Amino acid sequence: MIDSAVCRMAVLLLGLLSTATGAQEPARTLHGVGLPQFAHSAALDAHLRLAGATVVDRSYMPFQVVALYVGRDAINVETLADGLSRCRIEIHWLGPPLDAAAAADWWRAEFERALPDPAARLRLGDALTRIASKAGAVQRDSVTAIDYDPDAGLFVSRDGVVAGRFAGLQLSRAVLGIWLGASAEETRDVLTRDRPPSPPTP
């Protein structure tokens, strides 16, 4: 009998090979957004697998598709939320364009929800403002990526281009908490429904 760990490794290698050659088919499609089973993070120089994805509504209209990518190990929700695990969060914007000011307002509201303690927001305020600034304006079909590694820090990318790198565990926890914290329980539960990697369709 073939060892299950060997099987998992073989499947992961197939996925990484297909990512490198651009041969992947979407593992999931939500509101026209195709999400591959495996994604390469240039910021982290790492291949990650799709754990879960969900549609976020705003005023009863689809606003974003959010996807979580993780390493090959089984998900531990606590270590993800605590900033102790490598991950990638992709935000695919479905709504109308947001200029820089409107996008910053969205980030500010999300930070307030994820970080309800005013004192904590005050301590991190400048850094949170810089993150919102680096994320910038968005268009429909824009993609904002948050790549995180406990050692390398947190990277914000816009449409595949790294816009900024940020250090600090408390800051990273605040950002990841938008999707993985206690205030985002419903979104977190969907994103962390772990899926074993499967080979892409040839």
Confidence of residue 19 (pLDDT cuts 50, 70, 90): very low
Least confident interval from 70-74, 86-90, 105-109: 70-74
Instruction: Give residue 14's pLDDT.
Output: 42
Distance from C-alpha of 84 to C-alpha of 93, rounded to nearest angstrom: 27
Confidence of residue 124 (pLDDT cuts 50, 70, 90): very high
Instruction: Give residue 8's pLDDT.
Output: 47
Distance from C-alpha of 38 to C-alpha of 20, rounded to nearest angstrom: 10
Instruction: Give residue 132's pLDDT.
Output: 94
What residues does each domain of the chain span? 26-191
DSSP symbol at 197: -
> Which phi-psi region, left, alpha or beta, contains residue 32 (left: φ > 0; alpha: ψ -120 to 50)?
left
pTM: 0.83
Compute CA distances 36 → 12, 15, 91, whole Å: 13, 10, 14
Calculate the average pLDDT of the chain.
87
Beta-carbon count within 10 A of 185 CB:
10
* CATH of range 26-191; options 2.10.109.10, 3.40.50.970, 3.50.70.10, 3.30.565.10: 3.50.70.10
- Residue 196, pLDDT above cutoff 80: no
Least confident interval from 23-37, 47-61, 98-112: 23-37
Which long-range contacts (C-beta less than 8 Å, at least 24 apart) are formed by 118-121? 120/170, 120/174
